[in-house]
Amino acid sequence: RKEVEQDPGPFNVPEGATVAFNCTYSNSASQSFFWYRQDCRKEPKLLMSVYSSGNEDGRFTAQLNRASQYISLLIRDSKLSDSATYLCVVNIKRGGATNKLIFGTGTLLAVQP
């Protein structure tokens, strides 16, 4: 089983739609969680961190479910500019003080006009 799993998509949605992505992780000791956005042939950029209580940034809402070991990203009122690959990222502590960031393979979102 992969340490971080995402549905690769693509998710094709019309403008204005609400879309949600889930990401599951296997290590219950995971400490930090992030969503990154990656445009085609560009570098990943931090979209938002994910906090235990859930957090919102404009049209974007991130939630964490530690019991079921998944995080989610909800995008409301989708814009054409939201089209990108969304990467789920989990920080895992391995042996002593070593922390490693594990990236999911990403979910492709295509917002259609």
Partner 1 sequence: NAGVTQTPKFQVLKTGQSMTLQCAQDMNHEYMSWYRQDPGMGLRLIHYSVGAGITDQGEVPNGYNVSRSTTEDFPLRLLSAAPSQTSVYFCASSYRYSNQPQHFGDGTRLSIL
In the list 4, 50, 73, 111, the residue contacting partner 1 (rule: CB under 8 A) is 4
In the list 56, 65, 100, 112, the residue contacting partner 1 (rule: CB under 8 A) is 100
Q: What CA–CA distance (Å, rounded) separates 95 from 64?
A: 24
DSSP characters for 59-82? TEEEEEETTTTEEEEEE-S--GGG
Residue 59 binds to partner 1 (criterion: CB under 8 A): no
Q: Token match 């492709």: residue?
A: 108
Stretch that binds partner 1, among 14-22, 58-66, 70-78, 97-105 (CB under 8 A): 97-105
3-state secondary structure of 107: strand
Instruction: List contacts with partner 1 (CB under 8 A).
Output: 4, 8, 31-32, 34, 42-46, 49, 87, 91, 98-101, 103-106
